[in-house]
A = this chain, B = another copy of it.
Amino acid sequence: MNFASDNVWGAAPEMIEALRAANSGAAPSYGEDALTARLATVMDHLFERRVAAFPVISGTAANALALATIVPLQGAVFCHAAAHIVTDECGAPEFFTHGAKVVPLDGPEGKIGVRILEAAINRFVKGSVHHPQPAAVSITQATECGTCYEPPAIAAIADLAHRNGMRLHMDGSRLANAIAHLSCTPAEATWKAGVDVLSFGATKNCALGAESVVFFNPPDADDFEFRRKKAGHLLSKMRFMSAQLLCALEQDRWLAWASRANALARRLAEELEKLPSVEIGYPVEANSVFVFLPNATVARLRGRGAQFYDWGEPDNERTLVRLVTSHGTPESDIEQFLAAARP
């Protein structure tokens, strides 16, 4: 019963099969291979436009390289205070950008709102060399609270960013879960809503390790490939990373996998909130359930082997915990968890 994260689960069996299939004969290294070329075409098709998309091995690398490409060293990046780039990457964005400022903003349900964002942007004096210059907004989709931005909300942020000469980055390590929830197209969820560059995640969604940085305006990608190489993120046997991304995208597996993860999360939430003294913390729109459980329940669950994180400090009576599901999560784990949760 491991609900600690979606990355505790391994890869879909199809992924291993894709690696086996990719492992045949010689192929040019460093991304000059046929699978990587095919991936480029598939990405264009997926997003209904020509994109510049580059595989990288981790979400932190995807975010940091994406931001460094669009944010100069004097830039400022605005994001939610709970964003992975601010809480979980050990300052990778600051390192890759040579010291740009990451500005955390509060906002309900893991989302940043246009009003708070605008106020924050306005605190930086445009053109003053004393102040970092607003350069990008980074939103997380699905959010760190398991909620999803609707495309119009993204468009409002994008519009504000663009009016200020800034770019919009989306950390989409769980974009599949968001799109499975939103029932919109990948294009609608991203560039049609104004996203300029996307960290497209597959690792949390059944890959072994594969992400892609997608620039919707290819000239923006300018020096990306140099940055990727210089950071040690250009893989010689690229075909194996491309094979994973292709495996996910072909036959829309990525959405099927994410849908199943979302459904498991919804089931958890629906059953848990029937219990006394249990309260769901945020709308369950992706594959995370944030739920207040009585402290006794938390202890009992852990006693029976359930793994999950507390989200903040418990109070005297209850604890907000985070439960993350994956396509890999066995149904039986859900049922065991629910059984153990019942008083």
Cβ of A24 < 8 Å from any Cβ of B? yes
A219-234 near B? 1/0 per residue, CB < 8 Å: 0000101111111111
Q: For chain A, residues 184 to 231, give those with C-beta under 8 angstroms from any C-beta of chain B.
A: 203-204, 208-209, 223, 225-231
- In the complex the two chains form, is A91's CB within 8 Å of B100's CB? yes
- In the complex the two chains form, is B23's CB within 8 Å of A5's CB? no
- In the complex the two chains form, is B226's CB within 8 Å of A73's CB? yes
Cβ of A240 < 8 Å from any Cβ of B? yes
Q: Contacting A94 at CB < 8 Å: which of B29, B100, B129, B241? A: B100
Q: Contacting A235 at CB < 8 Å: which of B90, B98, B209? A: B209
- Specify which of A29, A63, A239 lies most central, judged by the most chain B CB atoms within 10 Å of its CB: A29
Report A238 CB to chain B, min CB distance, Å: 9
Report A128 CB to chain B, min CB distance, Å: 8
Cβ of A131 < 8 Å from any Cβ of B? yes
- In the complex the two chains form, is B237's CB within 8 Å of A209's CB? yes
Distance of A2 Cα from B203 Cα, bound (Å): 31
Distance of A232 Cα from B84 Cα, bound (Å): 12
Report A100 CB to chain B, min CB distance, Å: 6
- In the complex the two chains form, is B91's CB within 8 Å of A130's CB? no
- Quick one: copies of this chain in the complex? 4
Task: List the one stretch of A8-16, A143-151, A258-266 in contact with chain B.
Answer: A8-16
Task: List the one stretch of A54-62, A162-170, A174-182, A274-282 in contact with chain B.
Answer: A54-62
- In the complex the two chains form, is B90's CB within 8 Å of A132's CB? yes
A7 and B92 contact, Cβ closer than 8 Å, known pairs A223-B74, A229-B130, A232-B64: no
- In the complex the two chains form, is B101's CB within 8 Å of A94's CB? yes
| Chain B residues within an 8 Å CB radius of A97 | 99
Distance of A208 Cα from B244 Cα, bound (Å): 12
Cβ of A87 < 8 Å from any Cβ of B? yes
A322-336 near B? 1/0 per residue, CB < 8 Å: 000000100000000
- In the complex the two chains form, is B129's CB within 8 Å of A58's CB? no
Q: Contacting A95 at CB < 8 Å: which of B64, B89, B99, B237? A: B99
Cβ of A142 < 8 Å from any Cβ of B? no
| Chain B residues within an 8 Å CB radius of A73 | 91, 95, 223, 226-227, 230
A288-313 near B? 1/0 per residue, CB < 8 Å: 00000000000000000001000000
A60 and B232 contact, Cβ closer than 8 Å, known pairs A74-B223, A90-B74, A100-B91: yes
- In the complex the two chains form, is A26's CB within 8 Å of B13's CB? no
- In the complex the two chains form, is A230's CB within 8 Å of B74's CB? yes
Distance of A283 Cα from B343 Cα, bound (Å): 57
Residue in B closest to A28 when the chains form the complex, CB atoms: B8
- In the complex the two chains form, is A74's CB within 8 Å of B19's CB? no
A230 and B328 contact, Cβ closer than 8 Å, known pairs A10-B24, A10-B27, A27-B8: no
| Chain B residues within an 8 Å CB radius of A98 | 95, 98-99
**What 11 additional pairs, Cβ within 8 angstroms, besides A10-B22, A99-B99?**
A5-B236, A7-B29, A8-B27, A8-B28, A15-B23, A16-B19, A73-B226, A89-B130, A90-B129, A91-B132, A95-B99
9 interchain residue pairs of minimum CB distance: A61-B232, A95-B99, A94-B99, A74-B226, A2-B26, A7-B236, A10-B23, A129-B229, A60-B232
